[in-house]
Amino acid sequence: MTDIHSHILFGVDDGSDSVEESILILKKLKSVGFDKVILTPHFILDSNYNSKYADNLKRFFYLKNIVKDNDIGIDIFLGNEIYINEHIIELLDNNIISSLNGTQYVLIEFSLYNKILNLEDILYNIKCQGYQVVIAHPERYDYFQNDYKFVDRLRKDGFFFQSNYSSILGYYGVKAKKLIKYMLKKHYIDFFGTDIHKNDKDYVITNFDIIEKKIKKITGDKYYKTIQVNCDKLIGS
């Protein structure tokens, strides 16, 4: 099973603070069935969370060697969670940021509360350049929660959705829970991710059995399996 959204790369954003914490989180993910994880540190232009791909790669290989030495039984891969901006294509072309494991799939997040006016124009431009836009945790955005027709339109226009596992239990509020249920029933969700940040904030792991049961109750085993296969495809398995 593959987790395509995590903040386990140490020392680059609001996720793991150390190699030791990263190892603890990976062990917990392994304990609930994950054997592949894409590390997706935040990239927010003009902020403190703007570590470049070359720097991330050094930390990634350092962590990868320690994971191997500790025989955790989990493979890690590299990407970014990119905060929407007008320079994403330029940043990708110049290897400042990374797609998900070097694929054509790009994980993009938005402001939780303030919808930018040219949001769709930016997404269309990225798509026109040959990338596949994966919208991170759509159920969390206030303007998605209040406008299901907007969600429908984005889906119809060919954008992908990655939801957070914890949303199904109401971790991000009632509106997020309601929207993820709607999206699951409509078969809108293409990928799931833990979006885990900290070892001591492991709600998604401690409740993972319940989460899977809740999701399967809505989707059935077949569609849930399809989502897992989609995640696996991003790392070539």
Structural domains of the chain sorted by starting position, each given as residue range(s) with its CATH number in brackets: 2-233 (3.20.20.140)
As a whole-number percent, the residues of the chain with pLDDT over 90 amount to: 99
Spell out the residues 6+ positions from residue 83 whose beta carbon is closer than 8 angstroms to its own: 42, 43, 44, 45, 47, 108, 109, 110
Q: pLDDT tens-digit profile of 121-178?
A: 999 999 999 999 999 999 999 999 999 999 999 999 999 999 999 999 999 999 999 9
Q: How many residues does the chain have?
A: 237
pLDDT tops 80 at residue 237: no
Q: C-alpha angle with apex 176: 206 to 122, nearest 5 degrees?
A: 115
pLDDT tops 90 at residue 86: yes
* Angstrom distance (rounded) from CA 85 to CA 105: 16
